[in-house]
């Protein structure tokens, strides 16, 4: 059994890269370009990939490939329909980020709600020293207790974020689907969430239905001037509209860990406002606590072991039904 890991550099160096217990040949690469995939997977039975795409054309030229282990929950980089057609099992990882993503979301929320970035910069720039006072009030500071947290997406990560918000005394509501004609039990109408939330946090997959789910009409309907947080997927929020909303003071602040294109291109509108104290952009690291990455890797190894025994786990596509 030959196993190839196509993009080792996407997993932090602190992670212990254990290996399956069954006999195998192991090869790993720091990075793999799309043009190198075919060569690197020649004769390989198990492929591990995080962000390296596996297209229909490539998959059809890999007759030995039997299992693809995705080092992530999202599997949009792999053509699942072709894998089903060819009998290739695709397994993803789930639940590993249940603590790290909600904690990162609240790190952004705390920093922005209390203007930590602005005050830190003031101290660095000598404003406190020059003020002659024990404190000053250059930036707004607001408590989270008693404020409303609107969550878009009610999966594991949305619920984990909700638990933290509730523990802090926030009024937590889950948004019903945009455009829904009925509101399910346990949800709040989309428009009410948009118009009444002090903090809006996104935790939903990127699909054709959710792409650009927050854009100019939503920003114009936000009288609470909320903080907008996205630790889910780039593309959920129209980034150009977000910058305009900040310029028009329709929202108070933005904390983003994900962007539409990663790494961002130079023309990404958010890159032009990174120095603002009410904007924080982190490089897609909400998932990447040391504990979460180790859990992710251990889960990948368990998928390989299960596959070898004839009982695939976390399979997606028809193989997962």
Tokens of 292: 């979460």
**Residue spans of beta strands (DSSP E) within the chain:** 2-5, 25-28, 46-49, 67-70, 89-91, 148-152, 171-174, 199-202, 227-230, 253-256, 279-281, 315-316
Same domain (yes/no): 33, 122: no
Whether 214 and 311 share a structural domain: no
Are 29 and 143 contained in the same domain?
A: no
Q: What is the pLDDT of residues 279-313, one digit of tens each?
A: 999 999 999 999 999 999 999 999 999 999 999 99
Give the Cα separation of 232 and 201 in Å (integer). Answer: 9
Instruction: Please check whether residues 57 and 118 belong to one and the same domain.
Output: no
Half-sphere exposure of 101 (CA within 13 A, CB side): 28
Q: Both 72 and 115 in a single domain?
A: no
Are 86 and 110 within 8 A, CB to CB?
Answer: no
Give me the catalytic one of 166, 262, 290, 291: 262
> What's the pLDDT score for residue 249?
97
Q: Is 262 a catalytic residue?
A: yes
Domain of residue 265, residue span: 100-281
Mean pLDDT of 5-13: 96
Domain shared by 135 and 119, yes or no: yes
In residues, how long is the chain?
Answer: 321
Co-location of 149 and 296 in the same domain: no
Asked whether 282 and 257 are in contact (CB, 8 A), the reply is: yes
Task: Collapse the DSSP code of 273 into the 3-class scheme (helix H, G, I; strand E, B; otherwise coil) and give the result.
Answer: helix
Check if 233 is active-site: yes
Give the bridge partners for 54, in sequence order.
Answer: 78
Q: Which two tokens stand for residue 202?
A: 């996104």
Furthest-apart CA pair in the chain: how many Å?
Answer: 74
User: Is residue 218 located within the same domain as residue 301?
Assistant: no
User: Do both 60 and 162 map to the same domain?
Assistant: no
Is the same domain home to 183 and 125? yes
The pLDDT tens digits for 132-180 are 999 999 999 999 999 999 999 999 999 999 999 999 999 999 999 999 9
pLDDT of residue 321: 42
C-alpha separations of 150 from 5, 25, 195, 196 in Å: 39, 49, 10, 8
Tell me the per-residue pLDDT of 57-114, one tens digit each, with 9 for 90 and over: 999 999 999 999 999 988 889 999 999 999 999 999 999 999 999 999 999 999 999 9
| CATH code at position 61 | 3.40.50.720
Peptide bond into 40 cis (omega under 30): no
Measured between alpha carbons, how far is residue 284 from residues 99, 120, 234, 302, 306 in Å? 15, 23, 9, 25, 30
Q: Are the beta carbons of 72 and 7 closer than 8 angstroms? A: no
85, 177, 284, 305: which one is catalytic?
Answer: 284
Same-domain check for residues 251 and 140: yes
Give yes or no: residues 140 and 250 share one domain: yes
Total count of domains within the chain: 2
Active-site pick, 113, 148, 203, 233: 233
């Amino acid at each position: 059994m030959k196993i190839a890991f196509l993009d080792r550099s996407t997993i932090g160096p602190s992670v212990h890269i254990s290996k399956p217990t069954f006999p195998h040949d192991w090869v790993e690469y720091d990075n793999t370009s799309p043009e190198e995939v075919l060569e690197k997977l020649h004769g390989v039975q198990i492929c591990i990939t995080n962000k390296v795409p596996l297209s229909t054309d490539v998959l059809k030229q890999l007759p030995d490939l039997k299992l693809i282990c995705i080092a992530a929950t999202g599997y949009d980089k792999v053509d699942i329909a072709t894998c089903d057609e060819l009998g290739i099992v695709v397994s993803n990882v789930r639940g590993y980020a249940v603590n790290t993503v909600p904690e990162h979301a609240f790190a952004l929320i705390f920093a922005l709600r209390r203007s930590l970035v602005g005050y830190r910069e003031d101290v660095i720039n000598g404003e406190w020293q020059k003020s002659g006072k024990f404190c000053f009030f250059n930036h707004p500071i607001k408590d989270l207790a008693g404020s409303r947290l609107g969550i878009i997406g009610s999966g594991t990560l949305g619920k984990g974020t909700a638990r933290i918000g509730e523990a802090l005394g926030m009024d937590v509501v889950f948004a019903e689907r945009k455009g829904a004609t009925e509101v399910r039990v346990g949800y709040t109408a989309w428009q009410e969430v948009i118009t009444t939330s002090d903090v809006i946090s996104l935790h939903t997959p990127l699909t054709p239905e959710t792409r650009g789910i927050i854009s100019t009409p939503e920003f114009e309907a936000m009288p609470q001037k909320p903080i907008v947080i996205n630790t889910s997927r780039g593309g959920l929020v129209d980034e150009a509209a977000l910058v305009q909303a900040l310029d028009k003071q329709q929202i108070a602040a933005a904390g983003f860990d994900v962007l539409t294109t990663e790494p961002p291109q130079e023309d990404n509108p958010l890159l032009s406002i990174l120095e603002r104290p009410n904007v924080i952009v982190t490089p897609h690291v909400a998932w990447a606590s040391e504990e979460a990455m180790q859990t992710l890797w251990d889960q990948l190894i368990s998928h390989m072991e299960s596959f070898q025994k004839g009982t695939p786990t976390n399979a997606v596509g028809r193989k997962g039904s």
